[in-house]
């Protein structure tokens, strides 16, 4: 479970997020729908524990949060495969046959087979986003924050990725940030509309 | 074929310089601008054991000065980035860069006398700012998002340095090595010109007193060849071992 309580973020004397509270239950997929420039990336960074300069509290039940950033954030000097397996080394997760099988399954589902030895500048933006998604999910997280994860993908590719997440990680909790109502209602159990600066949030629908 | 590829542009550049020199020599008296053929024709007379001794002094000063500048400039660039004072350090380094080498060389001559110390100090003073500015600029390119990515996977400060900052520094170090050695050679020659009793700069100074332009230009060719060889070695090392760290294009 994720619980955000009275989060306030002030940057350059401007209130970006004002007293924001909401909660997400385990296994839910929740979308924070917000227009560009509203501060949803800041909110995701706060929720994921990357940005610690805010007031309020974020409580996460579970031990394996992961983040998929809006920009894929791949290392330019690593191949697709090296980028995908990069966190395993940091998290000291051993490369075993089970991991290899999961990796192969993800690569096939994302249509990245044959591109594993390519460098990021040699693949499309959509492929980069898919690589970033696999990189996060290969670590077997139980809660994932995804910031505009499908912005460079068509609806079918995005649907395929979400379906694959649901198959491989049936009990995962997903928090998506998106500006697309179609994606928000299509992939989520609940949708929160996030208003522009200063940010506040309210639930608009339960698809 | 790949091995010879880096040789093409420097050799073509050398060819263009020689061609321009040759064309220029047609319009002047050999006493003013001797032709490349005349100059290189005297190479066997000028390549004496004394010449190689002078050359070794110069190369020693260039390499010592360059290594010190490289270490100091890289350190200053890193400290400037870490302490977030890049703008201040850049302004200071710019000021140092503008200082006329001739004046600084005379000051070092008066401070430490004739010998190797003054040219090396001059190289360090004139080359370090260039390397520091370049290093700080490379580190400034670090994408905060990449740091966020590493942190999101439980990466430590060391992981950020190893996986983000060091790879960013590799192209800067290659540029610093190329520009730094060229600058070090030019400044070391100036230092020897002012404050040494040996080295190529000293030989050029003696030759120009007697208006012996063939000898002066021969030393210039030697310097050009040295710089070319160093550039090729640097290129071979970096492109051979660290090619993947260079941004595409």
Residues contacting residue B129 through CB under 8 Å, at least 6 positions apart: B73, B92, B93, B94, B96, B97
Provide the whole-model pTM: 0.81
Query: Looking at CA atoms only, how far is residue A168 from chain B in angstroms?
Result: 20
- CB-based contact B235:B241 (threshold 8 Å): no
Range of the domain at A109: 2-205
pLDDT at position A63, please? Answer: 65
A43 CB within 8 Å of a chain B CB: no
pLDDT at position B249, please? Answer: 46
- In angstroms, the CA B213 to CA B79 distance is 46
Query: Looking at CA atoms only, how far is residue A109 from chain B in angstroms?
Result: 23
pLDDT at position B248, please? Answer: 65
- Between chain A and chain B, the number of residue pairs with CB atoms below 8 A apart is 43
Max Cα–Cα distance, chain A, nearest Å: 52
Weakly modelled stretches of chain B, pLDDT under 50: 1, 249
In a domain, B72, yes or no: yes
- In angstroms, the CA B70 to CA A176 distance is 47
In a domain, B209, yes or no: yes
Q: Where do we find the tokens 């050009």?
A: B224
Q: Where are the beta strands (DSSP E) in chain B?
A: none
Nearest to A50 among B152, B167, B245 (CB): B152
pLDDT at position B8, please? Answer: 81
Tokens representing A134 are: 């696999």
Weakly modelled stretches of chain A, pLDDT under 50: 207
Q: Give the containing element (helix H, strand E) for B227.
A: helix B213-241
* 8-state DSSP, A114: T
Strands A29-33 and A14-24: unpaired
Output the CA–CA distances (angstroms, integers) from residue A161 to A125, A127, A168, in the order listed: 15, 12, 11
Q: Give the containing element (helix H, strand E) for B86.
A: helix B86-98
In a domain, B133, yes or no: yes
pLDDT at position A207, please? Answer: 47
Tokens representing B50 are: 């004394």
Q: Please count the structural domains in chain A.
A: 1
Output the CA–CA distances (angstroms, integers) from residue A68 to A48, B3, B142, in the order listed: 10, 41, 19
In a domain, B15, yes or no: no
ipTM: 0.84
B148 and A69 within 8 Å at the Cβ level: the answer is: yes
Q: Give the containing element (helix H, strand E) for B171.
A: helix B166-195
pLDDT at position A75, please? Answer: 94
A1 CB within 8 Å of a chain B CB: no
CATH of the domain at B127: 1.10.3720.10
Interior CA angle at B247 toward B242 and B248, to 5°?
105
DSSP letter for each residue of A27-80? T-EEEEE--TTSSHHHHHHHHTTS----EEEEEE-SS-EEEE-SS----TTS-H
pLDDT at position A118, please? Answer: 95
- In angstroms, the CA A8 to CA A147 distance is 19
Query: Looking at CA atoms only, how far is residue B143 from chain A in angstroms?
Result: 9
Q: Please count the structural domains in chain B.
A: 1
- CB-based contact A156:A5 (threshold 8 Å): no
β partners of residue A150? none
Burial class for A18, CB neighbours closer than 10 Å (0-12, 13-18, 19+): middle
In a domain, B221, yes or no: yes
> B245: which chain A residues are within 8 Å (Cβ-Cβ)?
77
**Which strands sit side by side in the sheet containing A201-205, from one edge to the other?**
A65-68, A143-147, A173-178, A29-33, A190-194, A201-205
- CB-based contact A32:A201 (threshold 8 Å): yes
B248 and A119 within 8 Å at the Cβ level: the answer is: yes
- CB-based contact B123:B69 (threshold 8 Å): yes
Range of the domain at B192: 46-243
* Residue among A198, A197, A183 at smallest CA distance from A32: A183
CATH of the domain at A78: 3.40.50.300
A119 and B244 within 8 Å at the Cβ level: the answer is: yes
Query: Looking at CA atoms only, how far is residue B91 from chain A in angstroms?
Result: 26
pLDDT of B48-98, one tens digit each?
A: 899 999 999 999 999 999 999 999 999 999 999 999 898 898 888 888 888
């Amino acid at each position: 479970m994720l619980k955000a309580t009275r989060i306030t973020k002030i940057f350059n004397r401007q209130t970006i997020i004002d007293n924001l509270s909401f909660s997400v239950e385990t296994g839910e997929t929740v979308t924070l729908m917000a227009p560009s420039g509203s501060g949803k990336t800041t909110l995701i960074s706060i929720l994921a524990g990357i940005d610690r300069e805010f007031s309020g509290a974020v409580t996460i039940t579970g031990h394996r949060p992961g983040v998929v950033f809006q920009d894929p954030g791949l290392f330019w000097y690593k191949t697709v495969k090296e980028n995908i397996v990069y966190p395993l080394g940091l998290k000291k997760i051993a490369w075993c046959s089970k991991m290899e099988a999961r990796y192969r399954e993800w690569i096939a589902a994302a249509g990245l087979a044959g591109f594993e030895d390519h460098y990021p500048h040699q693949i499309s933006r959509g492929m980069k986003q898919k690589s970033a998604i696999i990189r996060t999910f290969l670590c077997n997280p139980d809660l994932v924050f995804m910031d505009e994860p499908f912005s460079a993908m068509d609806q079918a590719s995005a649907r395929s990725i979400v379906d694959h997440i649901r198959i491989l990680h049936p009990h995962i909790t997903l928090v998506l940030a998106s500006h697309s109502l179609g994606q928000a209602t299509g992939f989520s159990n609940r949708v929160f509309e996030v208003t522009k600066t200063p940010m506040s949030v309210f639930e608009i629908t339960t698809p | 074929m790949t091995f010879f590829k880096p040789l093409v542009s420097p050799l073509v550049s050398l060819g263009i310089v020689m061609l321009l020199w040759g064309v220029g020599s047609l319009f002047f008296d050999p006493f003013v601008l001797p032709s490349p053929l005349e100059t290189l024709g005297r190479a066997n007379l000028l390549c004496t054991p004394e010449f190689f001794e002078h050359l070794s002094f110069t190369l020693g000063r260039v390499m010592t000065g360059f290594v010190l500048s490289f270490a100091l400039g890289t350190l200053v660039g890193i400290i400037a980035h870490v302490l977030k004072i890049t703008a201040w350090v850049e302004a200071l380094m710019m000021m140092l860069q503008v200082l006329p080498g001739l004046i600084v060389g005379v000051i070092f001559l008066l401070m430490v006398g004739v010998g190797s110390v003054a040219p090396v100090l001059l190289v360090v003073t004139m080359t370090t700012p260039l390397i520091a500015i370049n290093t700080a600029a490379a580190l400034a390119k670090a994408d905060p998002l990449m740091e966020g990515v590493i942190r999101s996977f439980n990466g430590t400060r060391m992981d950020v340095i190893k996986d983000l900052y060091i790879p960013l520094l590799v192209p800067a170090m290659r540029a610093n090595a190329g520009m730094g050695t060229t600058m070090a050679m030019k400044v070391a020659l100036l230092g020897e010109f002012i404050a040494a009793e040996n080295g190529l700069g000293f030989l050029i100074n003696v030759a120009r007193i007697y208006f012996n332009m063939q000898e002066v230009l021969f030393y210039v060719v030697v310097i050009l060849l040295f710089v070319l060889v160093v550039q090729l070695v640097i290129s071979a090392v970096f492109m051979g071992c660290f090619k993947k760290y260079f941004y595409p294009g």
